[in-house]
A and B are shown apart, each in its own frame.
Chain A
Amino acid sequence: MLEKIDIDLPASPESLAKLEPGSIVYLNGVVYTAREGVYDRVLNRKENLPVPIHEVTNANFHCSPAASSNADGSYRIGAVTATASFRFSKYMGDWLDATKTRVVIGKGGMPAEDYKNILAPRGAVYLTTVGYGTGALLGQGVRKVLSVHWLEELGIAQAMWMFEVCGFGPFLVDSDLEGNSLFAEQGKLVNRNIEQAYKGLRKPALLRYGETDDRKDELI
């Protein structure tokens, strides 16, 4: 744990094989952003990808940058932060197949079964941002905006950005190639203590519908 690893993109299967849950990763090369807006266009509406992504990179960042356009048409990226990935897990299988993406970067990971069933079988790992508000550090790692697609149609937050990055990180490996999950492991350890925190506390007088009383359950 807490070992630092640099990875060049597109990431080779060998470089991904070295990762284990909790490794600290920095990326060099190109990453692209895509979230529900882009997934919907390509997977549901069957629109063509604006660039042949797999020729350039295999790293998909679930992110909406704080960006604005300069007068000369170039873009300024201030800070870069990931957005919560669990909402996108339903798209992942088809998306990885369509784009040959092998590194999924986002916030907070996805359910552990998705790693076992969707990411790991396709040779893909999941990296999570740290904190999660490390926007300035990640922004510093973005050297250049190579291009942006569907900006008009989807807006700044949902558009597909291609970033050239250097020393981009830190990220923590959540899922490795076997589909082990750091969040799941840590969650189990945290759960061992939870009952103790509730000791002596009675249920409220009025309950609510849909409540689980098992605090070991995840709510995502």
Chain B
Amino acid sequence: MRPISQEAIEEACYEIMKKAAVDIPEDYLAGIKRSAEREKEALSGFVIKTMVKNYETATAERRPMCADTGLPRYFIKVGDDARFEGGFTGMERSIRSATARATQDVPMRPNRVHPLWRTDYNNNVGINAPEVEWSFEPDAGWIDITTVHKGGLFGTDYRMLFPGDGLGGIRRFLLDTLIAFGKRGLACQPAIIGIGIGGSKDTCMQLGKQAACLRIVGDRNPDPKIAELELELMEASNSIGMGPMGFVGSSMAVDLHIEVGFTHTGGMPVSVHTFCLSSRRATARIHADGHIEYRTDPKWFTPYYRREGIAWEGARLDQERQHA
């Protein structure tokens, strides 16, 4: 079979940029509608219903749902068997070019500036931007490209907790973060909340960010005890008594996802992230034959990605071979 062409890759990147900016993912929309039904406070209810109207207008008029079109970034999963033109750097070039074109065409806000000199090329491309995170998948010939347009200067925090702080410590830190950024609605809640637990400081942040941005509303962690904790902490978030814009209400979280990574024996680092009212993500799967399918579920956290089990499959197979 011919390798996947660079045009197909660039087309996929460009299309998901447009889709993400304009169309709210259906899982989040359904979640927000449930929040609207549950919310008993008039002001908070008004805010949520206005948001639903906003999503409908965005889709009908092909306008970005929010003028803060966030920081576009990419998550790519390449199947072991995928063959494509241009190599990995070619794919990154396509991403940069699609980002610049979509910024002009949608239009999106050129949010990316140099952190010190505030230089702006008006195309959301620059030094180390957009970020591209790579992952791989065994036994697959496709390439999945996901874009996330994460907005918000507010709603994220990290803290080194210790094993003795326990689950109560995590709950307390979550409440701290939600209250700090929930006042006046700086986090643009109700949000999909992502919590990263463990890893090193940077992986802890990354896991939390991915938990918020790359898992859909309704998805549960495969570990039943963590799944239970997700529901428990979501309940705690919605029981603060705060709703959208920091008004009295019971809608902080549309869902809450936890991802964990093995960590230093002495510590329990925790990060909290909120994926705002404009929870924008879109995924393209480029199949081995070049045809492209679009969806809103990134399907990022595969069993392989989580590295479940105590050794990788390859090691097990090696062992089996030796024993055979």
- Interface on A for B, CB 8 Å cutoff? 1-2, 22, 24, 63-68, 76, 78-81, 83-84, 86, 108-109, 128, 130-140, 155-157, 170, 172, 183, 186-187, 189-190, 192-194, 196-198, 200-206, 208, 215, 218-220
11 contacts between A and B (CB under 8 A): A24-B46, A64-B68, A66-B107, A80-B67, A81-B68, A131-B245, A135-B278, A140-B61, A186-B245, A192-B241, A206-B160
Whether B67 and A79, one on each chain, are in contact in the complex, defined by CB atoms closer than 8 angstroms, is yes
- A170 CA to B50 CA in the complex, in Å? 8
Contacts A66-B69, A133-B65, A135-B54 given; indicate if A202 touches B106 (C-beta within 8 A).
Answer: no
Cβ contact within 8 Å between A68 and B107: yes
Does B295 interact with chain A (Cβ within 8 Å)? no
Q: If A186-B246, A215-B179 touch, does A64 touch B109 (CB 8 Å cutoff)? A: yes
Which residues of chain B are near A84, meaning CB under 8 Å? 153-154, 186
Residues on A with beta carbons closer than 8 Å to the beta carbon of B244:
131
Q: Which residues of B contact A135 (CB under 8 A)?
A: 54, 58, 63-68, 278
Q: Knowing A68-B104, A204-B161, A205-B162 touch, does A130 contact B242 (C-beta < 8 A)? A: no
What number of A-B contacts does a CB cutoff of 8 Å give? 198
Using A22-B43, A155-B120 as known contacts, list a sample of 15 further A-B pairs with CB atoms less than 8 Å apart, ordered by residue number in A.
A1-B43, A64-B67, A65-B67, A79-B67, A131-B188, A134-B50, A135-B54, A135-B58, A135-B63, A135-B68, A136-B61, A137-B54, A138-B67, A170-B50, A187-B246
Pick the contact of A193 from B46, B63, B241 — CB < 8 Å?
B241
Q: Across chains A and B, which 8 residue pairs bring their CB atoms closest together, nearest first?
A: A193-B241, A68-B107, A136-B58, A81-B67, A133-B66, A79-B64, A79-B67, A135-B66
- Complex Cα distance, B171 from A151, in Å, reads 46
Residues of B within 8 A of A83 (CB): 68
A193 touches B66 (CB 8 A): no
For A138, the chain B residues whose CB sits under 8 A away are 67
B287 at the interface (CB under 8 A from A): no
**Contacts of A157 on B, CB cut-off 8 Å?**
109-111, 120
Spell out B's residues near A (CB within 8 Å).
42-43, 46-47, 50-51, 53-55, 57-58, 61, 63-69, 103-111, 120, 122, 151, 153-154, 159-162, 164-165, 168-169, 171-173, 175-176, 179-180, 183-186, 188, 236, 239-242, 244-248, 276-278
Name the contact of B58 in the complex, choosing from A63, A79, A109, A170 (C-beta under 8 A): A79
The answer to whether A204 touches B169, judged by C-beta atoms less than 8 angstroms apart, is yes
Taking CB as reference atom, which chain A residue is nearest B56?
A136
Residues from chain A with Cβ under 8 Å of B180 in the complex: 219
Q: In the bound complex, how far is the Cα of B154 from the Cα of A67, in angstroms?
A: 23
Contact, CB under 8 Å: B162 / A204: yes
The chain B residue with its CB closest to the CB of A139 is: B63
Of B42, B67, B245, which one neighbours A66 at CB under 8 angstroms?
Answer: B67
